[in-house]
């Protein structure tokens, strides 16, 4: 999952970025409204964390422009006041949720995960591909009840493939999902991460297939005919 944080307080921004990266999110951060408006024209995010009061353009104006472009990315407003007027202003501008500063790290992460679930339409909280399970509440991958120990970028790639299970995901899309604006994107790195993920899934019935020139697809391995017969006769 890739998030955009728009916050002009450098210390708070640094804290939030580190918090979210520890939660396996890819995070871009900008410090003013005009920069946010510019990047939202060209980049796709799963959730935007948007401060209400920003230099150069207010968070409300950034959100108004976003919604006028019919961009429905979930937006979590960060506001310094919990007044009714502020809450009404957030929702009137098209925000999906808000959190009042100072906020607890667990509350922030929980609200982000709730917005992600709402966006993906995942109601059960679990996705499966063969014997590989993705738990959306914790964003963990499990195989036979054991948590897969994945690095952040490996996690981001497998998450993108799981959420598009059975569909081809291009290398370009995966690069967008795992690299932030501070990174140097590398197509070769995607191949390396896919190689590592295949090792993690070596004993799983879920497999990552390469469609040369198109991208990658996650799907369950076909059960052999004799396995079908064994199941039916049991």
pLDDT at residue 232, rounded to an integer: 45
Tell me the mean pLDDT in the region 87-113. 89
pLDDT at residue 231, rounded to an integer: 45
Structure confidence at residue 224 as a pLDDT band (50, 70, 90): low
Pair of tokens at residue 161:
């493939």
Tell whether 108 and 153 lie within a shared domain: no
pLDDT at residue 80, rounded to an integer: 84
Q: Does position 234 have pLDDT exceeding 50, yes or no?
A: no
Tell whether 52 and 134 lie within a shared domain: no
Q: Over pLDDT 90: what percentage of the chain? A: 63
Asked whether residue 147 is domain-assigned, the answer is: yes
Query: Containing domain of residue 155, as a range?
Result: 126-220
Asked whether residue 227 is domain-assigned, the answer is: no
Tell whether 39 and 104 lie within a shared domain: yes
Tell whether 114 and 130 lie within a shared domain: no
Tell whether 115 and 8 lie within a shared domain: yes
Q: What is the pLDDT of residues 42-82, one digit of tens each?
A: 999 999 999 988 999 999 999 999 999 999 999 999 988 77
Asked whether residue 231 is domain-assigned, the answer is: no
Asked whether residue 225 is domain-assigned, the answer is: no
Asked whether residue 182 is domain-assigned, the answer is: yes
Q: How many domains does the chain have?
A: 2
Asked whether residue 232 is domain-assigned, the answer is: no
Tell whether 7 and 100 lie within a shared domain: yes
Tell whether 100 and 138 lie within a shared domain: no
Tell whether 133 and 113 lie within a shared domain: no
Of 96, 120, 144, the last residue of a domain is 120
Q: Does position 156 have pLDDT exceeding 70, yes or no?
A: yes
Tell me the mean pLDDT in the region 196-218. 94
* CATH number, position 167: 1.10.10.10
Asked whether residue 111 is domain-assigned, the answer is: yes
Mean pLDDT, the chain, as a whole number? 88
* CATH number, position 115: 3.40.50.2300
Of 94, 120, 146, the last residue of a domain is 120
pLDDT at residue 122, rounded to an integer: 57
Tell whether 109 and 166 lie within a shared domain: no
Tell whether 106 and 206 lie within a shared domain: no
């Amino acid at each position: 999952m890739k998030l955009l944080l728009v916050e002009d307080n450098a210390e708070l921004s640094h804290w939030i970025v580190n918090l979210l990266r520890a939660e396996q999110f890819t995070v871009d951060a900008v410090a003013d409204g005009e920069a946010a408006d510019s990047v939202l024209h060209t980049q796709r995010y799963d959730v935007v964390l948007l401060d209400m009061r920003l230099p150069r353009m207010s968070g409300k104006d950034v959100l108004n422009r976003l919604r006028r472009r019919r961009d429905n990315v979930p937006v979590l407003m960060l506001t310094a006041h919990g007044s009714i007027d502020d809450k009404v202003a957030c929702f009137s501008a098209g925000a999906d949720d808000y959190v009042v500063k100072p906020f607890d790290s667990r509350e922030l992460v929980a609200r982000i995960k709730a917005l992600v679930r709402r966006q993906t339409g995942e109601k059960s909280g679990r996705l499966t591909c063969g014997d590989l399970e993705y738990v959306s509440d914790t964003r963990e991958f499990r195989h036979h009840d054991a948590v897969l120990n994945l690095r952040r970028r490996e996690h981001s790639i497998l998450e993108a493939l799981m959420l598009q299970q059975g569909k081809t995901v291009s290398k370009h899309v995966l690069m967008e999902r795992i690299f932030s604006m501070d990174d140097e994107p590398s197509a070769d790195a995607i191949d390396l991460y896919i190689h590592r993920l295949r090792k993690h899934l070596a004993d799983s019935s879920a497999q990552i297939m390469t469609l040369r020139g198109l991208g990658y697809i996650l799907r369950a391995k076909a059960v052999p005919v004799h396995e079908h017969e064994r199941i039916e006769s049991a």
